[in-house]
Structure 1
Amino acid sequence: MFSWVDGQPATTLPLVDRGLAYGDGLFETIAVGGGQPVLLERHLTRVTAGCVRLRIDLDAAQLRRELSAFCAELGQGVAKLIVTRGDGQRGYAPSAGAPRRILQAGAMPAYLPQHGESGIRLFPCETRLAEQPLLAGLKHLNRLEQVLARAEWQGGEFAEGLMRDVSGRVVEGVFSNLFLVRDGVLSTPELSRCGVAGVMRAELLEQAQDLGIACQTRDIELNELLAADEVFLCNSLYGVWPVRELQDRHWSVGPLTRKLQAIARHLLDC
């Protein structure tokens, strides 16, 4: 595969890049089909809004042009976009230099079909997400919590892990967002303290509301999750995975999960 840095083919980065030194930046993982980035507007909205919050002076129009050209060359697969603050001197004080745009091409992950068909077992991670409202929702480059959580299980018995915050509230999967259904109401955790506001999460919430499905974004406790009628995960690469087991709780794949899974599949197949 191949990569671009600041719009040019490249395979190296300066050692003084602040993304490497401090995780000073953001990233997007974008499905690409037929040379087109899937959910492009949502990805661009999230990364540009994140740059505003981090005070990174991103040229959004330039990024759009580069991303479109990169995806056209890739054709099919995954484009990983990384935006860093660029080069900097030693110390935490933000530099005034130009931000750096990194694009990496990859193949679509070979997820097992049964994850979407019959559902997955969800591992209850011990690693907790710290609460930092200034960074909540952003897909920033500081992912050590996810690295530690993912190290808690090996092998194929579990496809994903459940992450909670320091107070024990349910937040998300290690690389997914989480939804539950109870009495016909679709709920997803509030992400104002921590967690990543996923683009597929946003798309499914909007689509569900358009279909007249009652939706809530709120704090969710573990006992509420275990009492749900349906549970599923989503992200921008695999779409929707039903959850069939967490701890000693078992679920069947429910009708609302299947409805939203079909919507996600259509988006990813376009």
Structure 2
Amino acid sequence: MSVVTKLVNGQPAETINLADRGLQFGDGVFRTIKVMNGEPIWWARHYAKLARDCAQIGIVAPSEATLLADIEQLKPNNHTLKIMVTRGETARGYVAPADLPPNRIVQIAPLPAYSPDLATQGVTLRTSSTRASWQPALAGIKHLNRLENILARREWSDPGIFDGLMFDRDDHLIEGVMSNVLVLIDGVLCTPDLSESGVAGVCRDMTLLAAARLGIPTAVCQIRREQLSTATALWVCNSLAGLLPVVALDDWRWPVSALQRDLRTTLFAMKDE
């Protein structure tokens, strides 16, 4: 008996209708969640973010109970869980009926093979030449059209580079290709303002809460490229890799500090809050 790893609208499947708008236009949203010992990490926040993203582009989100039933059917243990919600199926053309039933795709896959040394020895980044576009209507949403990130990721093949940093047209730091960014400047843990561009990740939110628990001041603000030269620490984070210290970005270098270790330890001791 084959193991079920993919569901479409609650049914085992390996294909989707070619009329699906997620396939045609990237018309949908998604979440990527780490599952450890059968528990989706930070589930409540991921579901709330999925529901908000759906609402922002006018898609009816599946209920939490529906998605939990899908997850139970897949029985993930230590896996990557990916949930996609598309607007549904239409003929070609951008117009879609308001009452179009959405499609949901829930699937599991092995966790990425990140070395545990990354958490203690840090990661190396590069600057991406691909710019993050300005679009307030989509800012913060994890939508299915990730072409900017794909183009940015094509810029390097060196396995020693963990991620690339993306800036907007005005040279403000936005995010990593696959991560959010946090920067310690003058004792304040800063993360880029994503009200006009980028994806607001759950691990970013949780890291800000962990910093507050440690008494570290935090700020969501614009960060210009040149300000990185004055930073005393950098981190990148996402829901699969967690929070990782940055030791190199292009020609800049930073040591791994006790603060970076403490922040990661505090973050991973936290449940949904």
TM-score normalised to structure 1 length = 0.94
Whether the aligned pair in 2 keeps the contact of 1:119 and 1:242 (CA below 8 Å) is yes
Q: Distance in 2 between matches of 1:179 and 1:239?
A: 12
Corresponding residue for residue 212 of structure 2: 209
Corresponding residue for residue 63 of structure 1: 66
Equivalent of residue 96 in structure 2, options 94, 97, 104: 94
Whether the aligned pair in 2 keeps the contact of 1:36 and 1:68 (CA below 8 Å) is no
Corresponding residue for residue 75 of structure 1: 77
Corresponding residue for residue 113 of structure 2: 110
* Of 256-265 and 125-134, the range deviating more from structure 2: 256-265
Letter in 2 for 1:205: L
Shift of 1:254: 2.1
Q: Distance in 2 between matches of 1:61 and 1:171?
A: 30
Letter in 2 for 1:159: F
Give aligned pairs, total.
Answer: 267
Shift of 1:112: 2.1
Shift of 1:263: 2.5
Letter in 1 for 2:149: Q
Whether the aligned pair in 1 keeps the contact of 2:7 and 2:70 (CA below 8 Å) is no
Q: Distance in 2 between matches of 1:138 and 1:144?
A: 14
Whether the aligned pair in 2 keeps the contact of 1:116 and 1:240 (CA below 8 Å) is yes
Q: Distance in 1 between matches of 2:80 and 2:61?
A: 22
Whether the aligned pair in 2 keeps the contact of 1:86 and 1:99 (CA below 8 Å) is yes
Whether the aligned pair in 2 keeps the contact of 1:37 and 1:68 (CA below 8 Å) is no
Identity within the alignment, %: 40
The residue correspondences of 1:186-225 to structure 2 (distance < 5 A) are 186-225=189-228
Q: Deviations over 1:2-51 (max 9, x none)?
A: 10111111111000000000000001001011211111011101110011
Segments of 4+ moved more than 4 angstroms: none
Corresponding residue for residue 54 of structure 1: 57
Equivalent of residue 30 in structure 2, options 18, 27, 30: 27
The residue correspondences of 1:170-185 to structure 2 (distance < 5 A) are 170-185=173-188
Letter in 1 for 2:203: M
* Of 205-214 and 120-129, the range deviating more from structure 2: 205-214
Shift of 1:167: 1.3
Corresponding residue for residue 264 of structure 1: 267
Letter in 2 for 1:76: N
Q: Distance in 1 between matches of 2:182 and 2:229?
A: 12
Structure 1 spans left out of the alignment, 5+ residues: none
Q: 1:266 to 1:67 in 2, by over 3 A?
A: farther
Equivalent of residue 226 in structure 1, options 217, 226, 229: 229
* Of 203-212 and 224-233, the range deviating more from structure 2: 203-212
Equivalent of residue 155 in structure 1, options 155, 158, 165: 158
Shift of 1:149: 0.4
Corresponding residue for residue 132 of structure 2: 129
Q: Distance in 1 between matches of 2:236 and 2:205?
A: 13
TM-score normalised to structure 2 length = 0.93
Letter in 1 for 2:185: R
* Of 203-212 and 37-46, the range deviating more from structure 2: 203-212
- CA RMSD, Structure 1 to Structure 2 (Å): 1.5
Query: 1:5 aligned to 2:8?
Result: yes
Structure 2 spans left out of the alignment, 5+ residues: none
Q: Distance in 1 between matches of 2:87 and 2:139?
A: 19
